[in-house]
Amino acid sequence: MQKAALDDILQAVERPARYTGGEWNMAVKRGAALHMALCFPDVYEIGMSHLGSRILYRAVNMREEYFCERVFAPWPDMEAALRENGLPLFSLETKRPLGAFDIIGFSLLYEMCYTNILTMLDLARIPFLAKDREGVAPLIVCGGPSACNPEPLADIMDAVMVGDGEEMLLEVLDTLAACHAAGKQKRDALLALSKIEGVYVPSFYEPQYQEGRFAGLERVEPQAPASINRRVVKDLDAAPYIGKPIVPNLSIVHDRAALELFRGCTRGCRFCQAGFIYRPVRERRLETLLDIANELVECTGYDELSLFSLSSSDYSAIHELVTRILNSMQSRRVSVSLPSLRADKFLKSDLERMQEVRKSGLTFAPEAGTQRLRDVINKGVREEDLLRVAQESFESGWTGIKLYFMIGLPTETDEDIVGIAGLAKKVSRLFYAMPKEKRIKALRLTVSASSFVPKPFTPFQWVGQDTAEELRRKQQLLGGALKGIRGVEFNYHASMVSMLEAVFSRGDRRLAQVLVEAYRRGCRFDSWDEHFRFAGWQAAFDACHLDIAEYAHRERDVKEALPWDHIDILVEKSYLLREYALAQKGVVTRDCRSGCNHCFGEKYADYCQLS
């Protein structure tokens, strides 16, 4: 790397600290046998907030023979500066060019970051398509929640890791190191990787199409597995955590210490992909969590500790955990936050203790405005639950509440949309019904409405998404109904972005050509409103003779082949079909903690401690 040229660039771009490295607790190594670039296809502030990447960073760097470095997507000004100066994209730790690594791993959290993957490969001078890359290095792999349907990126990735990555990634590195030592070619290395549970090698399979629609995958490598089993870390308590996490040089999205209480969820919300692909629930022991919490605060200096999980308040010992952490942190003036709360939980005493240090906002997710629709999606929360916990929050001194909803849910009517405003009005009235002396600050009630996106491995994977026009109509209907409610702020997502998310969420392998075409037409940072260019995407689909509506809005027949059918996520397809049928009848399925619903087949029955 040309240091003088890089120094000049950093003085000219926005937020140069995104690219400098040198943070507190950053890994530094010499003489590693294998170099890995852990890539996050978004800006530093978002990537450094991702707990999964931090866990993998530490898991790899715990091994002396491997060195894991970080690379983030450069903001457009940095991308332009690198191109103008003829410099490659580089790592933060050693400024090593991305193309010089042995293995490059992308974290996939959101489908609308896929074009940034191409930006990073392009700046590394690495061909986009796997078939155009010869030799073993660098090997391009990916993992994360979006990897559960890997087909839209299948032509780009050499391998895909499906499921928990802590153990799987180390096995991948061990296998790759052995292949390097033996002088094996790329195909032989990929064949060795395909034998690791959870690893999918797309080039060993070819998609079949009938009448323009996906019809299944055919194995072209006899030694490749017929299906890919999702990898599960069974003992989360013994799994590596983030250790001494890197302390960023600039403010990031989640600028606090994060403590993962458990993985998985027992609730079974029918729209929620994470609730199905992270099953079964695996908790860390209380003492383990207390030890990690103390280490995180001592080695970072953070003054906020977030108790993080899909639904933190569902941790079996949540009240004892909150009490003991608050007792240990209060003298250090460290606040504790619960970013995801269930409205049916009794947390008043915990809320009162938490606000003694600092009051941040509370977040609840009713998801729907009427009980009928909450039953359809199996939310398991009643209006009286939300109003009770809102009242308790206000009485405990909280004045900021965020309510998350979805619009465009299956069977939704305008009455359900207006019901969101009705619920917000009742919450607002609770606050202003309190005596004035208790209302120290004004109410900040944020109503956020995201658009429903049908996701693989959920009971709604067969549902067609509302059109962008219909979603905009519903947003306008809700916005009008919310007007005049005291303290309310309304947020919603762009409908075109949600439509493309649906396309890539349930898409097949043909979308790789669309992705490359959109990138060449200037599409970057598609999750950022100021950079999203739908015209470029529409032109890309037209050029590839593919139809957006076919992917996003078409209802799938329950008997048709799905692009992700070769992935065994552990939850049986028959269970998802049963839940889909129950949703259409508005029948609620019990929480797994109240009794096993038998979502796993016999093959995985021993994975779940609740069965």
The lowest-confidence range among 47-56, 388-397, 473-482, 526-535 is: 388-397
Indicate the pLDDT class of residue 505, thresholds 50, 70 and 90. Answer: very high
Displacement of CA 84 from its chain's centroid (Å): 33
Tokens 């960023």 — which residue? Answer: 248
User: Averaged over 518-547, what is the pLDDT?
Assistant: 96
The token duo for 403 is 């309510």
The token duo for 505 is 């969420």
Indicate the pLDDT class of residue 343, thresholds 50, 70 and 90. Answer: low
Does the pTM of the predicted model rise above 0.75?
yes
For residues 318 and 304, give the distance between their C-alpha atoms in angstroms, rounded to a whole number: 17
The token duo for 423 is 């619920």
The answer to whether 610 touches 282, Cβ cutoff 8 Å, is no
In this model, does residue 574 exceed pLDDT 60? yes
The lowest-confidence range among 187-196, 438-447, 497-506 is: 438-447
Give bridge partners of residue 405 from the DSSP assignment: 367, 449
| Neighbour-count burial of 320, counting CB atoms closer than 10 A to its CB (0-12 exposed, 13-18 middle, 19+ buried) | exposed
Q: What is the pLDDT of residue 166?
A: 95
Domains of the chain: 3-229 (3.40.50.280)
For residues 171 and 198, give the distance between their C-alpha atoms in angstroms, rounded to a whole number: 11
Indicate the pLDDT class of residue 347, thresholds 50, 70 and 90. Answer: low
The answer to whether 142 touches 160, Cβ cutoff 8 Å, is yes
- For the stretch 164-216, pLDDT in tens is 999 999 999 999 999 999 999 999 999 999 999 999 999 999 999 999 999 99
Q: What are phi and psi of 571, to 5 degrees?
A: -75, 130
DSSP states of 58-125: HHHHTSTTEEEEEEEPPPHHHHHHHHHHTPPPB-TTT--BGGGSSEEEEE---GGGHHHHHHHHHHTT
For residues 239 and 381, give the distance between their C-alpha atoms in angstroms, rounded to a whole number: 33
Q: Which of 68, 69, 80, 77 is nearest to 123 (CA)?
A: 80
Average pLDDT of the chain to the nearest whole number: 93
Q: What is the pLDDT of residue 341?
A: 66
- For the stretch 8-30, pLDDT in tens is 899 999 999 999 999 999 999 99
The token duo for 579 is 């839940």
Q: What are phi and psi of 521, to 5 degrees?
A: -95, 10
For residues 337 and 322, give the distance between their C-alpha atoms in angstroms, rounded to a whole number: 9
